[in-house]
Amino acid sequence: MSTSTERPAPRTGTEGTPPRPRKRRQLAPAILLTPAGLVMIAVTVLPIILLVGISFTDFNQRSLFTGTYSGVGVEQYTRVFTDPDFWLSLLRTILFTAAMVIGSVVIGMAVAALMTRLGPPMRYVVTVVLICAWAMPNVASSIVWTWLFQPGYGVLNWLLTRLMVFGDMTATNWAQDPLLSAASIWALIVWQAVPFIALTLYAAQIQIPIEYYEAARLDGASEWTIYRGITLVFLKPTLLLITILSIIWDFNVFNQIWLISRGGPDSATTTLGVFTYQTAFVGFDLGGGAAISVISTVILLGLTAVYIRNLIRSGEDL
């Protein structure tokens, strides 16, 4: 009589395949993310560490050639915080950022609302125009912008002269007037920011159920009441995130200001980014410039923390 010993069948996962070891499953995401993580460390973390280190030294133009420098502790930060030009540049940055964010968000909201009322052909045309404006490099657009405002042959000066609203503006040099220079920079940055804001808000607005609008119109609500009571309520999370992102982007604006006015006239458009560049690469006080950059980074980290916090909250509300 033969006896057979029955062996228990091996544990299998789904579809009869043996389950993968848990440890291997946990290592797989880390292995896949390692290349991107190394790149982020190389281009972000290491430069920040170097920047912080330089901010505690007297690194200057001589140090670039000799490699010699000395540690000065918090002296660079003390100089920065006691420099009235730093506080003036910070104030200009806050005012510039507020003006640019308000302008770009308001105009972007208007364009998004307009797109919802256009027919498909015209809406496609507006979308293509917005994408083309958004895709244009800011250096190239800044150079073209200076041509538009050039005295003597600038197209905008010629157009304003033809309209006869402000008199003869043919020879007006916008870059040499504090108010006009700030206005031209504001218009350029808002023009570059509106496409992203408008397209994002339009994508969010078309997700609002149409039944809400139909019920409000049946109740006799005006279009402004409908927009304020329905559209803005649904767009609130998107508007909040766009506003925070715009603050972070506009706080860092440098190329447009430097290419148009170089911070002038009389430092009227010298924001924190321009002041940092002038300190580090015009005055060759690299230690002082690094200290200002660290301060700017801390401010932006605070804004980024607010952005991430609201991003998490908006995800929880969905």
CATH number, domain containing residue 148: 1.10.3720.10
Per-residue tokens: 295: 């301060």
Alpha-carbon distance of 309 to 183, in angstroms, equals: 33
Q: Is residue 224 part of a domain?
A: yes
User: Could you tell me if residue 17 is inside a domain?
Assistant: no
Instruction: State the Cα–Cα distance between residues 315 and 242, nearest whole angstrom.
Output: 15
The closest of 243, 269, 267 to 186, measured between CA atoms, is 269
* pLDDT mean by block of 10 residues, the chain; 318 residues: 52 54 70 86 88 90 83 91 93 94 94 91 92 89 89 86 83 87 93 94 92 88 88 89 89 91 88 92 90 91 81 63
Kindly state whether residue 266 falls inside one of the protein's structural domains. yes
Q: What is the pLDDT of residue 27?
A: 78
Tokens of 90: 């910070």
Asked whether residue 290 is assigned to any structural domain, the reply reads no
Determine the pLDDT at residue 19.
56
In a domain, 135, yes or no: yes
**Is residue 289 domain-resident?**
no
Query: Residue 115 has what pLDDT?
Result: 92
Prediction pTM value: 0.83
Split into its structural domains, the chain has a count of: 1
Model pLDDT, residue 205: 92
Identify the pLDDT of residue 1: 46
Q: What is the pLDDT of residue 189?
A: 94
Is residue 86 in a domain? Answer: no
- Residues 146 and 234: beta-carbon distance below 8 Å: no
Q: Which domain holds residue 149?
A: 96-283+300-317
Q: Write down the pLDDT at residue 188.
A: 93
* 43 lies in some domain: no
226, 213 Cβ separation under 8 angstroms: yes
pLDDT at 219: 85
